[in-house]
Structure 1
Amino acid sequence: FSNQTRAESYLETKKSGYLTMQSYSSQGKLVRNGEKNKLVICIEGNIASGKTTCLEYFSKTSNIEVLTEPVSKWRNVRGHNPLGLMYQDPTRWGITLQTYIQLTMLDQHLSTTSAPIRMMERSIYGAKYIFVENLYRSGKMPEVDFAVLSEWFEWITQNIAIPVDLIVYLQSSPQICHERLKERCREEEKIIPLEYLEAIHQLYEDWLIKKTSFNIPAPVLVISADDDLQKMIHQFEENREKILSGRNV
């Protein structure tokens, strides 16, 4: 076979993963085939702001595919736990975890779905604009690590179409999030101080409320997330039509 024939044969047999991205948008970006008209909703918010509750509520809707953060992958990369390592020593392991988060979030954005609506826990944008930025600003990520991650992020977003139709921002106070963390007792989260949650909160506010830090890839629907479980579910019910239509008004 010629090299071209081999390549065409390989693409033909590879029906999943990135190799299905064979068309280009009007901006010249790679686009996954068949995904253009599907709604993408990203649930953003601080740690313990209620994202899991929101996703569980909407997962009961038949025409939605819900994608939670792939935390199990972050805890086990061929037997290693980069999530746990990062919390123990962020200066050493921050770039390791965030590089892998960038990869796994990109994979979720680009995965195929038969459902007309995809709802994701956070996004590749939130990972970069909030958590990578916080590591860098707090002095826990060396400048060279931040530069490398930023170069990767810019290449991805400039060359691959990653559409988002609506961001649902669960706006919660750091104090409430800290109390919830204590109650749910996840191993890696036991050492998270209130100051960390305050820093994450401020980055979210600057990005999605004040709009003073980074580009926002979609309209933002803000939902107050300091209430208890039942009141939160009631808020999701009240905003259900807006969320599922991909509109913030």
Structure 2
Amino acid sequence: MRRAPSLDRPCTIAVEGNIGSGKSTFLRHIEKLGNVTVFSEPLEKWRNCQGHNLLDLLYQDPQRYSFTFQSYVQLTLLQAHTQKCSTKFRFLERSIFSARYCFVEKLRRDGIMASPEYSVIDEWFKWIKQEQAVGVDLFVYLRTDPEVVYERILKRDRAEERKVPFEYIKSLHEIHEDWLYHKRLYECPAPVFTIDANVDLGMIGDEYGRFEDQVLKKRVAV
């Protein structure tokens, strides 16, 4: 049985989805509503770990740097999960759960992360779940077709993403689907609210409004 959020911590909502699914756009909208604290994906930390761009190194040589990068991802997302905030709602752009169940899983399946490295990441993840306050009360899944997000990735033209092939995006989509939508991959430790994020980002207000009505307003009233 899932426990309700304790009185001394905010309701924690993790926003999940493929690369380019619109997580940042959704969170900018949510932040305007007030009474929320948003912890964005720590891209700048990943691009500058004591002067090293770990994100770029990952895309240049995933075989060499996948363990290094995912170790740091797990740390920085743990920091977001456990950082104090005074608002009723805490929104996370991705979580330690998607880092492990989607991205590390992808590296394992592709044979890019060596088995001993995978085991170390997994042991750290299990310890974090057991010993740290990383509970999530709701996942918001921005569900998108891989063709849609790949086109968005090409348009936004982030330097580190220029080498990302469509097959990588498609495979990540399938893993997200199996975990959050079909619920047949790993555990899903909280309910999932699915948003159709294929909608043009300029017309997605109705989907956001549905989330506000069915989730935020009800939880504020509790």
TM-score, normalised relative to structure 1? 0.83
Aligned: 1:168 with 2:140: yes
Aligned: 1:234 with 2:206: yes
Deviations 1:139-182 (A, max 9, x none): 11111110110010011111223111110000001100000001
Once residues 141 and 182 of structure 1 are traced to their aligned partners in structure 2, the CA distance between those partners, rounded to angstroms, is 26
Once residues 101 and 41 of structure 2 are traced to their aligned partners in structure 1, the CA distance between those partners, rounded to angstroms, is 16
Once residues 78 and 206 of structure 1 are traced to their aligned partners in structure 2, the CA distance between those partners, rounded to angstroms, is 36
Question: Structure 1: which 5+ runs fail to align?
Answer: 1-26, 28-33
Q: 1:88 aligns with which of 54, 57, 60?
A: 60
Question: Structure 2: which 5+ runs fail to align?
Answer: none
SS in structure 2 of the partner of residue 239 of structure 1: helix
The residue number in structure 2 matching 1:15 is: none
Q: 1:42 aligns with which of 6, 14, 21?
A: 14
SS in structure 2 of the partner of residue 211 of structure 1: coil
Q: Offset of 1:229 from its aligned partner?
A: 1.4
Q: How many residues align?
A: 215
Q: Offset of 1:133 from its aligned partner?
A: 0.6
Contact preservation (8 Å) 1:165, 1:246: no
Aligned: 1:225 with 2:197: yes
The residue number in structure 2 matching 1:115 is: 87
Contact preservation (8 Å) 1:87, 1:188: yes
The residue number in structure 1 matching 2:98 is: 126
Once residues 7 and 110 of structure 2 are traced to their aligned partners in structure 1, the CA distance between those partners, rounded to angstroms, is 38
The residue number in structure 1 matching 2:168 is: 196
Q: 2:47 aligns with which of 59, 75, 88?
A: 75
SS in structure 2 of the partner of residue 133 of structure 1: helix
Deviations 1:20-60 (A, max 9, x none): xxxxxxx9xxxxxx874411111000000011110010010
Return closer, same or farther for 1:79/1:184 CA change in 2, 3 Å cut-off.
Answer: same
Compare CA radii of gyration and give the structure with the larger one. 1
TM-score, normalised relative to structure 2? 0.93
Q: Which amino acid aligns with 2:14?
A: C
Q: 2:32 aligns with which of 45, 60, 77?
A: 60
Instruction: Report the aligned-residue RMSD.
Output: 1.6
Percent identity over the alignment? 42
Query: Runs of 4 or more off by more than 3 Å in structure 1?
Result: 34-37
